[in-house]
Structure formats: structure tokens, C-alpha cells
Structure 1
Amino acid sequence: MEYELLGWPPDGPKLRLDHERFSYAGKFVMTNTGKAVAREDGDLVAAIAFNEDRTDEATLWLRYVTVAGDRRGEGIGPELVRLVRDHATERGYDRLRIAVNNPFAYEALYRAGFGYTDETTGIAELILEYPAPVDSSSNEGATDEGTSRERYQAGLSAFRERDLSTEEEAFLEARRDRGPPDSSADDG
């Protein structure tokens, strides 16, 4: 698998993605967003579009992350997010943010080192950021692991309140009472 950052905003390249293989395919033809891709044997299998926050030049927003439908669940998305994350921090961005609308994306972003901010967008997407938020809880005896688990579960609970597919319900049930997935093994 080859991962490549193609360009930074506002001069990102156009990408024409097959709408039958990729969610948000039409969003990648804009040139005002940066782009990164994952390819295997020359075949595009994932893409990210990103741009700087309009009010905070130290924040980069990942706008769209898409993985080919037949390649989801293989860890390609989190790896591509890590590539953008690492290049963005080298470039001087203090934080990266993304809004997600499903529990699969939520989990993938946790695998890339992001954490739930306890915020949502106006269209009920959950906002995650890197570096992951640190709780400033004054609970005596609270541990980072405990508060991290609580924050992770708070996001999953927000999804449980929605009208879900059978796959999403099973996914969420399998994660009930668990802590966030480990991202440190993937930071190589």
C-alpha cells in the first residue's frame, strides 16, 4: 500500500472518484482543499480532503475521509489519517479536527489517535480532534485511562441514541463497556 500527500490547501488537486466505490466522491473535485490518497498497485483505495479552519490558522480540518467500499475495515483509513496528521503537525498545525457521522468512522479516528471533544456540529456529527482532548476533571482518584474510557463511551452513547443499521447496532454492542482502541501500536 502506498500513502501519499498530494497537496495542501488552497491549491489541492482535483480527484475524480467513482461514486459507486467511494462515499463523498463529488467532494474531491474541489481544488481549495488539500488531498492525500492511498493506492495499491496503482488503484486508488482511499482519499482525504482537508483545509485550514477559517477562524484558527493553527487548526486543520479533515473534511472528508473515504475508503473504497470493498476495502473498508482493513485499517487503510486510519493509516491515511495518520499520514495527514503527521505531515500537518510537521507543517505547524497545533490540532486537527474532524466531524464524523457514524460509529465506524468514530472508531477509525480513535485508531489514528483522535479523541471525542464532547461537541457536535449543527447536523449532529460528533467532533473529534488530535491531539485527543485531556479531561480537566477534578475527580479525585480519576485516571487518564478511566476518563479516556468515559469520553470514548460518551461518543458511542451518542450514536446509540440514533436510528441505526443492524451492522451499526452490532458494532456498538461489541464495544459496550470497553475503552478506546489502542493507537500507540500504530504510531511506529
Structure 2
Amino acid sequence: MDPELLGWPLDGPTLRLDHERFSYAGKFVMSNTGKAVIREGDDIVAAAAFNEDRTDDGALWIRYITARNDRRGEGLGPHLAEFVAERASERGYERVRIAVNNPFAFEALYKAGFGYTGETTGIAELVLERPGDRSGERYRAGLTEFRGRENLSDAERAFLADAEAPPETL
């Protein structure tokens, strides 16, 4: 299953995903973001939407990554993020950023070569960047951000209780 680039933001690609099978499905209908997918046969199993940073010409933001609900946990998201980052680099972008709102996505993006910047967005998402600081100290700082949250699920609490060292890259 090789990732496929459907187009860059100016190309205006759109993608209709089943909202019952994909989180954020409605975000992929918009034509102002680039899109990349992973297919299995004719079926899309993961998708990413991305666009340029309005304040930094050298940066691209991955806005959404989603894997089909029955395929979560298979590493499709980090594989797709790595693919988008590599295509962005080939296109001349110096950095690729993404903001994550849960520790599972945080770890997955570390696997794809991203590092925590120490920044958060206005909606309490942690900003990761590739290339970025992938040190153990920086990784643990991100974990600490998540551990301080009150609205964690039991699965997130269990994950954070065991997490300490950055994961290996893909």
C-alpha cells in the first residue's frame, strides 16, 4: 500500500470520505487543501489534508490525518505523514508541521520523524515539526503536557503511565 499524492492546495483536490468510517471526513471535501491517500485496492484506508503556512513560506501544515476506523493502529497515519513530509521537502518546503490533540497521535508522529516544538495551538494541541528536535527531553516534555490534562481517557492514562522514551522512526 503505497501512498498517493492527489494534489497540492492550488490543484484544489477534493475527497469524499464516509463520515461513519473516517474521523474528520467533512474536512476532506474542501478544495483549499492538498490531499494524499493510502489505498487498498480501490478503497481509501487513510487520508491527509495539508496546506501552506500563511505566515511562513518555508512551512507546510498537515491539517488532518485520518485512518478508516477499522484500520486504526496499523501505522497508516505515520506512514502517510512521512510521505507528505518527503513530498513537501522535494517541493522546497523546509519544514512540515502538524498539531496533535492526543498522546497516541503524538507518538505516531514521532515515529514519522516529527519532533515536539514546545509550542501549543490555541486549542491545546501540541505542535510537532519535521525536521525537529527528537530528543528524549523534548519527547518527555510533550508527554508532560498531556499528563497535565484532566479529560484523558483511560486508554490515554494507561499509555502515558508507561511512555518515557521516544519511539523509533519508521
Tell me the TM-score normalized by structure 1.
Answer: 0.87
Q: Which residue of 2 aligns with 1:132?
A: 132
Question: What is the aligned partner in structure 2 of residue 37 from structure 1?
Answer: 37
Greater CA radius of gyration, 1 or 2?
1
User: Structure 2 counterpart of 1:103, which letter?
Assistant: P
1:164 and 2:149 aligned: no
SS in 2 for 1:10: helix
**3-state SS of 1:32 partner:** coil
After TM superposition, list the pairs within 5 Å mapping 1:17-166 onto structure 2.
Answer: 17-133=17-133, 148-162=135-149, 163-166=151-154
Aligned to 1:145: none
**Structure 2 unaligned spans of 5+:** none
* Contact persistence 1:10–1:51 (CA under 8 A): no
- TM-superposition CA deviations, 1:54-82 (whole Å, max 9, x none): 01111000000111111111111111111
2:34, 2:133 → 1: CA distance?
A: 25
**Amino acid aligned to 2:157:** E
Separation of aligned partners in 1, 2:58 and 2:86: 14
Question: Which whole-Å CA distance do the structure 1 matches of 2:140 and 2:69 have between them?
Answer: 26
Q: Secondary structure at the match of 1:150?
A: helix
Question: CA–CA distance in 2 between the matches of 1:27 and 1:41?
Answer: 23
Q: What amino acid maps onto 1:130 in structure 2? A: R
Runs ≥4 residues deviating over 2 A: none
User: C-alpha root-mean-square deviation of aligned residues, in Å?
Assistant: 1.1
TM normalised by structure 2 equals 0.96
CA displacement at 1:133 relative to structure 2: 2.8
* Aligned equivalent of 1:182: 168
Post-superposition CA distance 1:100-149 (Å, at most 9, x none) = 10111111100000000010001110000000137xxxxxxxxxxxxx11
